[in-house]
Amino acid sequence: MSRSAHSQDTSVTLESLRQRLLTVVTDAELADTFAILDRLDACSLVDQFPELIYVKDRRSRFVLANDATARANNIAHPVELLGKTDFDLFEREVAEELFLAEQRMMSLGEAMTNVEHRLAFGGQSCWLQSTKTPLRDAAGRIVGLIGISRDITERKRQEDLRRGHARLLEMIARGQPLDKVLLSLVDLVEEELDDVVASVLLLDEGTDRLRHGASSSLPEAYVRKIDGLQIGPHAGSCGTAAWRREPVIVSNALEDPLWEEYRELPQQFGFRSCWSTPIIGPDRRVLGTFALYSGSVREPTELELELTAMATDIAGIAIERMRAEERIRYMAHHDALTGLPNRALFWIQFNHILAEARREKRKVAVAYIDLDNFKQINDRLGHAAGDEVLKTIAERLPRCIRANDLIVRLGGDEFAIVFSLLGQGEEGVVRRMDELRAVISAPVMFESEEVQVTCSMGAAFYPEDGDTPEALLARADRAMYGAKIDGRDRLQVWTCAPAGD
């Protein structure tokens, strides 16, 4: 556009502004404000700025606005803003807050700088940072205000994300439960996005099944349907992402072949696209998936991809932290070689079993097991052979007891078994113990050689032989030594010793 043409456009705009003002208002103060503006050939200049630039009179009515201000308010031309107030553009509560702040500023004669406020333009929420200063005439009287507002929505979003990111990391560091961390993560993502629902699925360790991890907005019926989803090459978005170990973008679940076996889900629950990304741990294992669902047929936006990357990183840290803590707790209560509960867990669980037995007036039996001549196996074949024998016995014994019974490795070649919920008499329990001795003595293969070991076993009963775990285990231990003395490879039941013993 030539300079003369540009000047002509400007004069048209100013003339339009004059005519608009004449039809809107004729009061003196508005005329004073316009008299100042009439001397400024500024319209063409301010239209070049991306910021919202505007002038208002003492009643906070627009008397000048640039193109950016009109566009922000979904108005075709700045002239259409003339004479309007914020009450014509925003909800009353918001408009009243803006109006009172402007009136206070003009009354005090002091500028407002870098004021941040959240506004909804045409249903689209955004953050503005505004600076407004009083507009004075030649005599120094305040006749209005000049304002400039900058869209800081992206900056605020980044600030919110940084705060949310820091909050999530703090939750992880403080050891907050995994489900609480993941739910906060899902909420953070959904707050930043429109038209999407977020979800986390967790891969069961040692299986190929995805389990529900977190979702605030997915229907419960949908959550139930996908809980336990088997991963595979054609298992929707999440199951396929976990299988491929890479993001899977499905823009139309009603047509994509990956959803062929799950077509009723988008039909029933109303979503159309689903974009899933695997959550990968530091050792490159798949820990789960993070997914976004949309009701529209579309590809994800750059922002949605950015938030997904952030979410999978945070989720990976949280899941790995939880599993590390679980491993530590497991190691603290289980024997490293056999995986059986150790002494620490034994005392805890034995106390629980006895407390329940007292309430229900039931018997409890404890067996103390010591392998016979185990040292000879280590001496002849080495400790690897001894370890193999211990691990094999530890694998066999749990298959021979009930779910409510307790088996532990006390240390070395010693084990203990607590028989709870006893319904049979002492003879029935003794038969079960003899069956266990037979299981222990079955040969173990080590490097093509059969290794066989027997055991000596002592037994004590609650309440006859003691009413604490310590007393019962001690008497079962002494009975076991009696079996050793009597020739090994046998069971001996504790009998009351003479007074003073």
pLDDT the model gives residue 138: 86
Which tens digits make up the pLDDT trace of 314-370? 999 999 999 888 888 889 999 999 999 999 999 999 999 999 999 988 999 999 999
DSSP for 398-410 reads GGGS-TT-EEEEE
pLDDT the model gives residue 154: 85
Quick one: tokens of 459?
């037994």
pLDDT above 60: residue 72: yes
Q: What share of the chain is helix, strand, coil (3-state, %, to 5)?
A: 50, 25, 30
Quick one: tokens of 179?
């489900």
Please give the average per-residue pLDDT across 60-71, as a whole number.
92
Phi, psi angles (nearest 5°) of residue 411: 140, 150
Please give the average per-residue pLDDT across 461-485, as a whole number.
95
pLDDT the model gives residue 6: 37
C-alpha to C-alpha distance for 123 and 120, rounded to whole angstroms: 5
As separate numbers, helices (DSSP H) first and strands (DSSP E) second, the chain gives 16, 18
Q: Which residue has the higher pLDDT, 292 or 117?
A: 292
Please give the average per-residue pLDDT across 358-387, as a whole number.
92
pLDDT the model gives residue 37: 55
Could you tell me what percent of the chain has a pLDDT over 90?
Answer: 66
Query: Are 461 and 476 contacting, i.e. CB atoms less than 8 angstroms apart?
Result: no
pLDDT the model gives residue 12: 38
* C-alpha separations of 14 from 4, 63, 421, 498 in Å: 15, 11, 95, 118
pLDDT the model gives residue 202: 97
Phi, psi angles (nearest 5°) of residue 64: -160, 140
Which tens digits make up the pLDDT trace of 160-196? 888 988 999 999 988 899 999 999 999 999 988 888 9
Phi, psi angles (nearest 5°) of residue 349: -75, -35
C-alpha to C-alpha distance for 495 and 145, rounded to whole angstroms: 101
pLDDT the model gives residue 501: 42
C-alpha to C-alpha distance for 331 and 342, rounded to whole angstroms: 9
Closest listed residue to residue 52, CA positions, set 62, 38, 60, 37: 62
Please give the average per-residue pLDDT across 430-442, as a whole number.
90
Quick one: tokens of 349?
């669980």
Please give the average per-residue pLDDT across 88-113, as a whole number.
93
Stretch (H or E) spanning 274: strand 273-280
Confidence (pTM): 0.67
Which tens digits make up the pLDDT trace of 444-468? 989 888 899 999 999 999 999 999 9
* C-alpha separations of 171 from 94, 175, 281, 319 in Å: 35, 6, 19, 12
Q: Is the peptide bond before 463 cis (omega within 30 degrees of 0)?
A: yes
Q: Grade residue 214 by pLDDT with cuts at 50, 70 and 90.
A: very high
Please give the average per-residue pLDDT across 252-280, as a whole number.
95
Domains of the chain: 3-151 (3.30.450.20), 157-330 (3.30.450.40), 343-493 (3.30.70.270)
Residue 484's contacts (CB-CB under 8 Å, 6 or more residues apart) are: 370, 372, 456
If one counts every other C-beta atom within 10 angstroms of the C-beta of residue 97, the result is 13
Phi, psi angles (nearest 5°) of residue 272: -120, -35
Residue 76's contacts (CB-CB under 8 Å, 6 or more residues apart) are: 70
